[in-house]
Amino acid sequence: MCTGKCARCVGLSLITLSLVCIVANALLLVPNGETSWTNTNHLSLQVWLMGGFIGGGLMVLCPGIAAVRAGGKGCCGAGCCGNRCRMLRSVFSSAFGVLGAIYCLSVSGAGLRNGPRCLMNGQWGYHFEDTQGDYLLNRTLWDWCEAPPRVVPWNVTLFSLLVATSCLEVVLCGIQLVNAIIGVFCGDCRKKKDTPH
C-alpha cells in the first residue's frame, strides 16, 4: 500500500478513535447519566485527569488530522517525490499521539485498578483500591456503592473502553510513525491522477 493511502486510512481511524475517547471521558463526568454528581468530592481523580479527553482525544486528534493531510496532495508535488513535507510533520505528530495514547492508557488503567470514588457506609472514598482490581471479577461487590447509583459498572465500562481504544491508538500512531518515515525518504508511490486534492 502506498504511504499516502496508508496515511489517510490510519488518519481517519485515529480521528474516529479520538472522538470515542472524548465522548467516553465526557460520560465519566456524569455517572449513570446524572449531572448532580459532578463534584470533585464525588468523582475519582482519574476522571478529572481527563485521560480520554486530553490524551486519547486531543493529543491523538492532531496526528489523525496530520495523517489525513499527509495522504493528500502536498506542497512538494505528486508521484515518487511526493508529499515529503507533510509526511515529515506527520512523523512528529505521530510521536506526540503515541505519548497521548500512553497517557490515556495509564490513567484509564489506574481508574480500573482503583475503582470509582463512591459512598459506602456513609463515607466517600476509593473502597475498592485495596482489592488491586479483584473487584472487577466479583460483581456482588459492585452493589456496595450506595452513590452515585450504578457508578461501578459505569466506570468499568467506560474505562475499559478507554483502555481498549488507547491501545489501538498506540498501535495506529506507531504504524503511521513508520509509514511517515518511509514517506519522507521514499515519497508517495501514487501517480498524480490518483492523488486526492
Rounded mean pLDDT, 63-74? 80
Full-model pTM = 0.84
Q: What is the CA radius of gyration of the chain?
A: 21
Give a yes or no: residue 165 inside a domain. yes
Give a yes or no: residue 117 inside a domain. yes
Among 174, 170, 181, which residue's Cα sits nearest to residue 100? 170
Q: What is the pLDDT of residue 73?
A: 59
Give a yes or no: residue 151 inside a domain. yes
Total structural domains within the chain: 1
132-138 contacts, C-beta under 8 A, 24 or more apart: 136/112
Would you say residue 169 has pLDDT above 90?
Answer: yes
CB 156 within 8 A of CB 137: no
Give a yes or no: residue 179 inside a domain. yes
Q: How far apart are CA 70 and CA 88, in angstroms?
A: 9
Q: How far apart are CA 127 and CA 118, in angstroms?
A: 7
Q: What stretches of 29-58 show up as alpha helix (H) in DSSP?
A: 45-48
Q: What is the pLDDT of residue 188?
A: 61
Give a yes or no: residue 197 inside a domain. no
Q: What is the pLDDT of residue 79?
A: 47
CB 25 within 8 A of CB 107: no
Q: How far apart are CA 142 and CA 158, in angstroms?
A: 15
61 pLDDT tier (thresholds 50, 70, 90): very high
Would you say residue 168 has pLDDT above 90?
Answer: yes
Cα distances (Å, whole numbers) of residue 85 to 48, 128, 196? 37, 50, 16
CB 176 within 8 A of CB 14: yes
Q: How far apart are CA 195 and CA 97, in angstroms?
A: 25
Q: What is the pLDDT of residue 53?
A: 94
Give a yes or no: residue 195 inside a domain. no
Q: What is the pLDDT of residues 75-91, one digit of tens each?
A: 444 444 456 777 888 88
Would you say residue 19 has pLDDT above 90?
Answer: yes
Give a yes or no: residue 15 inside a domain. yes
Q: In 66-164, where do the E strands start and end?
A: 118-120, 123-125
Domain encompassing residue 50? 2-186
Among 57, 47, 67, which residue's Cα sits nearest to residue 148? 47
Rounded mean pLDDT, 46-50? 91
148 pLDDT tier (thresholds 50, 70, 90): confident
Cell of 64: 489523525
Q: What is the pLDDT of residues 108-126, one digit of tens each?
A: 999 999 888 888 888 888 8
Rounded mean pLDDT, 177-192? 73
Give a yes or no: residue 20 inside a domain. yes
Q: What is the pLDDT of residue 54?
A: 94
CB 169 within 8 A of CB 106: no
